[in-house]
Amino acid sequence: MTQARVRITYATMSADNEELHAAYEKGVDTARSWLGQKHPFYVNGEVREGEGYDQERSPIDRDLVIGQFARATRQDARDAIAAARAFAPQWMGTPWQERVKIMRQAADVISERVYELAALMAIEVGKNRLEALGDVEETADLIRYYCKQLEDNDGFSFEMGHLSEGEHNRSVLKPYGVWGVISPFNFPMALAGGPAGGALVAGNTVVLKPSHQGYFTALKLWEALTDGGVPVGAFHVLTGPGSTVGDEIYNNPDVDGLTFTGSYNVGMQIYRNFAKEYPKPAICEMGGKNPAIVTAQADLDKATDGVMRSAFGFGGQKCSACSRVYVERPVYDEFVARLVEKASKLKVGDPVNRDVYMGPVINEKAVETHQRAVEDVEAGGGKVLLGGGRIAEGDLERGLFVQPTIVEAPLDHRVWKEELFVPFVAVAPVDSLDEALKLANDTEYGLTAGFYSEDPAERDRFLNEIQAGVVYVNRRAGATTGAWPGMQPFGGWKGSGTSGKAGGGLHYVQQYLREQSQTVIED
């Protein structure tokens, strides 16, 4: 089990470990046995059913019912926040060493359940098996990494200088109190459990509002954390609409801090308006329009592998997905030919199956976004080089499947500017690295970026001039995707993020803490 866990990260997207796949198949059987049931949520450990149940269906097959999930009310959200507020003194008063111990236990529970949780994720949101395994393991590793950060920094308590022999000064980071987490569908465990884990180990209590396309995974996260020892008063999960539950978390004065992952428009609304009576921290990650640059000095085999994996992994539904590529003109035709050839061989289908690389998109709106982008490119003087259609043959007709799509489009076309969140990448020739860098930086976003060149001087120039928080050079495993805790901190610049501190990095968990300067005089 340990060997399989170590091998699956976003940088190792092929796994020939037969033991791993056999264990995953058993996980599929377990996950399928969970489907179609009713699921309440819990406030302070108490079963709640809200105001009825909403049905969730799989994007793989719209006839497949994931389950019926209780619809929390605004009062349920208020009760959860009140319970988190009431328990906050006890949790923040727990020695940090004990919180670290509990959170590590919880991370181990997640790892022990990795196969069934990954299988459930594949069925619920359509993520292929290796990426789903990576998502679950990343959650556990994010929690472990934040535990390590507390440990390495002695609970963030530091002795300071003094002005006299009797003066003793310390800098101590302390939790805020109650922390809200609003998480998206595309990383339904890592982008819920990562922020929640950071907030919890720092000593905050947490109220989580997951995406409705991800409710079941979020409830399983709650089970794993509470089974690992997290007190029910410290962690609450509410399955309910954003218009009530999310709105209450965002507006309730007893929520001291908030982490949001989602669209730029919603994130900016939260960032501008979350703090009312006094300043409060809002950590918002808000997507990207991530470029890759390929120079004439690039290894084109490496570059086309990296772009293909980042453009079409999880159907382009990652905030880090590569959606635009600028290629120096001398190698443009060869790059495009290789990229089209490789992408044309990708298997699209039921992501639970071992040989499938790309599953469905998440909902009908995503299908419409994909189709409209294709139509707009053709109407705007562009050209579809690969794909462009919806797949509706055989069993796939009941699901939400579209073709991986590569287009050429005029550089002023909207597909170069708008985050589409579908398997769609635009390519264009450029005359110089100067032009490529200018175009790559000409965006409101600044999340990830990739670069391919065997010239060290070009590489250094890219690293010095690109405006993005996560950058990769000559990476076959993914041009713009694939960060891992403790290795590649993940966070955006400009319109992609509010804090400048990246998840899974050295400075992330401190955002869930505030500094107190302590002076004690002993005469």
The residues assigned a catalytic role are 285, 319
DSSP string, 102-120: HHHHHHHHHHHTHHHHHHH
Query: CB-based contacts of 456: which residues, under 8 Å, 6+ apart?
Result: none
Residues contacting 383, CB < 8 A, separation 6+ = 377, 407, 408, 409
List of residues 6+ apart from 243 with CB closer than 8 A:
none
CA dihedral 174, 180, 185, 190 (to 10 degrees): 20
283 Cβ partners below 8 Å, 6+ apart?
195, 257, 258, 259, 260, 498, 499, 501, 511
- The neighbour count for residue 248, using CB atoms within 10 Å, is 25
Which token pair is 56? 């969730």
DSSP state of 12: -
| Distance of alpha carbon 430 from alpha carbon 435, whole angstroms | 6
What lies within 8 Å, CB to CB, of 230 at 6+ separation is 102, 103, 106, 200
Phi and psi based region of residue 120 (left: phi greater than 0; alpha: psi -120 to 50; beta: remaining):
alpha
Give the C-alpha distances (Å, rounded to integers) separating 247 from 47, 180, 271. 22, 11, 13
Tokens representing 326? 């600028």
Burial class (CB in 10 A: 0-12, 13-18, 19+), 299: middle
**Rounded to an integer, what distance in angstroms lies between the CA atom of residue 306 and that of residue 291?**
12
* DSSP string for residues in 366-423: HHHHHHHHHHHHHHTT-EEEE--SEE-SGGGGGS-EE--EEEE--TTSGGGTS---SS
Q: Crossing angle of helices 129-152/18-34, nearest 10°? A: 100
Q: Looking at this protein, which amino acid is placed at residue 293?
A: I
What's the half-sphere exposure (Cβ side, CA atoms, 13 Å) at 281? 21
Q: Are 216 and 56 in contact (CB under 8 A)?
A: yes
- 3-state secondary structure at position 17: coil
Q: Give the whole-angstrom CA distance, residue 407 versus residue 517.
A: 56
Question: What one-letter code names the amino acid at 71?
Answer: R
Q: Which two tokens stand for residue 393?
A: 């043959």
